[in-house]
Amino acid sequence: MSGTDDVIDAWEISEGDFPSDGTTKEKLSFLVNYAVLAPSSHNTQPWLFRVGDAGVELIADRTRALPIADPDDRSLTISCGAALFNLFIAARHFGLDVSVALLPEEGSPDLLARVSVRGRKAPSDEEGRLFNSIKARRTNRMPFDKKAVRKDLIEKLKKAARSEGDWLHEHELTDEKA
């Protein structure tokens, strides 16, 4: 490579480049650019995307697994979930009504999700705020603050988990474990 080659920065994606008049496949390919901005454990970015005419498949990239640090692929799966959520929020922001099928094919454990376009739907205010947070997020490697998390924030997190069909368990640490 020479010094004159174009450098591609994933963070330089622009909403104005969305192919409004493009095919569904072109729109979905564009949205993957937002999916890959998701945080991932140890910055492994353990995802692959297969874009088709009507949907996107999210595939776990096991070549990016961390067998020592993450022997059960828990962090890998959570990282892929973050990318899936970014993809979903980006689709909603650009007015696409999408459905998400988790683990859609028995016997294909690496195929984590299939996102299909159902039509058009205006995004909610919350989806708009979440979309804006995709490019605003940053990694913070500073030590954690030892202050307790406010109860109202914990309740908001629990509510958010429930809205996704999940749960959140609060675990209180003693000073010696903090």
DSSP characters over 87-109: HHHHHHHTTEEEEEEES-STT-T
Q: Tell me the chain's radius of gyration from C-alpha atoms.
A: 18
Give the distance, in angstroms, between the CA of residue 49 and the centroid of all CA atoms in the same chain.
12
Who's near 58: CB < 8 A, 6+ residues apart? Answer: 35, 47, 48, 49, 80, 83, 84, 87, 111, 112, 113, 114, 115
Q: Per CATH, which fold does 10-137 belong to?
A: NADH Oxidase (3.40.109)
Supply 119's token pair.
């039509």
Return the domain boundaries, the chain. Answer: 10-137, 145-178
pLDDT in tens, the chain (178 residues): 556 577 778 889 999 999 999 999 999 999 999 999 999 999 999 999 999 998 999 999 999 999 999 999 999 999 999 999 999 999 999 999 999 999 999 999 999 999 999 999 999 999 999 999 999 998 888 898 888 889 999 999 999 899 988 999 998 776 655 4
Neighbours of 36 (CB within 10 A): 15
Tell me the torsion sign for CA atoms 13, 54, 86, 81. Answer: negative
The one-letter amino acid code at 45 reads Q
The whole-number pLDDT of residue 145 equals 83
